[in-house]
Amino acid sequence: MSREQRGPNDKLGAVLALAGISNAGLARRVNDLGAQRGLTLRYDKTSVARWVSKGMVPQGAAPHLIAAAIGQKLGRPVPLHEIGLADADPAPEVGLAFPRDVGQAVRSATELYRLDLAGRRAGSGGIWQSLAGSFAVTAYATPASRWLITPADSSVAREANAAEGSGAPLKVGHSDVQKLREAAEDARRWDSKYGGGDWRSSMVPECLRVEAAPLLLGSYSDEVGRALFGASAELTRLAGWMAFDTGQQEAAQRYYIQALRLARAAADVPLGGYVLASMSLQATYRGFGDEGVDLAQAALERNRGLATARTMSFFRLVEARAHARAGDAPAAGTALKAAESWLERSRGGDNDPSWLGFYGYDRFAADAAECYRDLKAPRQVRRFTEQALSKPTEEFVRSHGLRLVVSAVAELESGNLDAACEQGVRAVEVAGRISSARTTEYVKDLLHRLEPYRDEPRVVELRERARPLLVAPA
């Protein structure tokens, strides 16, 4: 139902015409987007006609889903004011800004922290509406360019205003920052072992809301502030990574944008590069290989002469992943060689950042295997996957599961059905122990590739073993 009638909504009609979407087409897109978010919507062409000709405003999440549906067709974010629905809840815009001013950056980040991953305002009890937008890779263009132009703010010292929070403003010290860094380290460990959907990992957004936000709104010197922004950026990037792993791409995008802005305030260029690499991996995973290349190269460009050899190796590896997804084999090969060369130059005594603890030769091999999978080179996939699977799995359980699926795909493309099913069974066993939508999607892709052999006994067995995983709630 609609809330009110205001007269014709010419803005919505004009944008629909620009996008080439019919009334029936928009209704279908909005219903589909709603279904992806657990909403049962039954809009039809008559509903859309009322929105356009009579200016009726649909209730709940619908205005944001309308903007998302049109944005998908246009290939860019569509703000509510552009379609004449600016009086709807503005929460979906939260987290997409990359303010030039540090004070505004604090407000932008803390406003996002007040929204949980399900998109509800903390304490409001409202239904999933606030982050009902859709992932749009173009939303990364402004943050990346602003970070490249100015990767560090001149000063971040702050005197708090009591009106900004509840009670007296906090005086922030290094001990407060250390607590955030410890929380980030714990979250990284749980995420690697149990997946982004594990309840221990999902406490990160709560930590941002309850712990980080009051500190960012407190008083601090420039020195303490830099450290605070860095720790908050690490936690915010982790929140984005966990959202990405659980399939919540819209929330992940917002966290990444704010993490990049906080890294700029921290004057931590390598950390900013890490956030850009995370953006690149998301864009690549979503099928935007060219944009993934741009984001990875932005990370590389600003870190020349600053980041450690191992950090630069990781950035080149992320670039290779994007080139491979874009189908550019020569560029992917060049980036892989550069990544390996940088990794060979790294030494144990290098001052590598703590957040890079996951990266070594096994991770290089795993991503190289995925590059060659995308380039349809199964022999190379098998070679690198064998290296990637050689490391013990206790700490990086999710990564091990992903590698098993990639190995299964390589075996299948090499004509080894039994070996593919054997690796698939091992992957399903790992996927059942963690909470990771990304791992589940990898398993689904393997089963899709096995469809021509669906009547083979080993495939039937694998599908049966995977059934609980495939019917589990997302």
Each residue's pLDDT tens digit, 265-284? 999 999 999 999 999 999 99
Mean pLDDT calculated for residue range 302-314: 96
Angle 309-325/361-374 helices, nearest 10 degrees?
10
Mean pLDDT calculated for residue range 441-465: 92
* Encoded tokens for 234: 């690490």
* Encoded tokens for 172: 């922030």
Q: What is the pTM of this model?
A: 0.78
Specify the pLDDT at position 393: 64
Question: 376, 423, 388: which is closest to 404 by C-alpha?
Answer: 423
Mean pLDDT calculated for residue range 444-456: 93
Beta bridge partners of 158: 220
Each residue's pLDDT tens digit, 343-398? 999 998 899 999 999 999 999 999 999 999 999 999 999 899 988 887 666 667 88
Tell me if residue 350 falls in helix, strand or coil. coil
What pLDDT band is residue 203 in, cutting at 50, 70 and 90?
confident
For residue 332, the one-letter residue type is A
Query: For residue 429, what are the contacts with CB-CB under 8 A and spacing of at least 6?
Result: 465
Q: How far is CA 468 from CA 35, 214, 448, 474, in A?
A: 21, 42, 17, 12
Mean pLDDT calculated for residue range 438-458: 91
What's the gap between Cα 348 and its chain centre? Answer: 30
Each residue's pLDDT tens digit, 35-93? 765 567 889 999 999 999 988 888 767 787 888 889 888 877 777 788 888 665 545 57
Q: Where are the domains of the chain?
A: 10-92, 360-474
Each residue's pLDDT tens digit, 143-171? 999 999 999 999 999 998 755 555 566 89
Question: 95, 191 in Cβ contact below 8 A?
Answer: no
Q: Distance between terminal CA atoms of the chain?
A: 28
HSE, side-chain direction, 13 A CA sphere, residue 146: 20
Most confident range, picked from 56-65, 319-328, 385-394, 430-439:
319-328
Burial of 182 (0-12, 13-18, 19+ CB in 10 A): exposed
360-474 has which CATH code?
A: 1.25.40
